[in-house]
Amino acid sequence: MVAEEGKGMGKDESSLSHFYEKLGSEQKKSLAAAVTEKLQGIIGGYGELSVLVEYISVMLQSSRPKETIQTELEAFLQDESGPFTTWLCQKLEKMTESGKTRRRKRDEDPGAAPKDEAARKAKKEKKAAAAAAAAAAAAAAAASAA
């Protein structure tokens, strides 16, 4: 049954940390919120879920395979640990894929560049113009001295 539940991931189970590492800080916060919501549906309002959510993220960061995560969660989720772990893997993969899509769209559309990039470009152009003006002034000063 465990092998059947693992179908959703489609990739090597040890790559969970690889998927997790690809998430940005906002995506990690979003994943933690989704995990909390999912756990509330399973456990209900019993107990402090933030500690369990943190434990799950630590397991993801520490390259634990799906089967180990599932086994560790059995103490908290009993029979729901398998379906929860499968959901977690699918959610993680989906979030990673959606991040790639957003980056690809931004790369394809230069107008969609982040504001920081536009500010850096403007600053670079301003420096280049100042350097050109300084070079022209130095050349003019050298010409008048000769």
Region 24-28: mean pLDDT is: 90
Confidence of residue 81 (pLDDT cuts 50, 70, 90): very high
Confidence of residue 119 (pLDDT cuts 50, 70, 90): confident
**Mean pLDDT taken over the chain:** 76
For residues 14 and 137, what is the distance between their CA atoms, to the nearest angstrom? 62
Whether the model clears a pTM of 0.85, i.e. scores above it, the answer is: no
CB 22 within 8 A of CB 101: no
Residue 11's alpha-carbon distances to 90, 91, 93, 94, 140, in angstroms, are 11, 13, 9, 13, 66
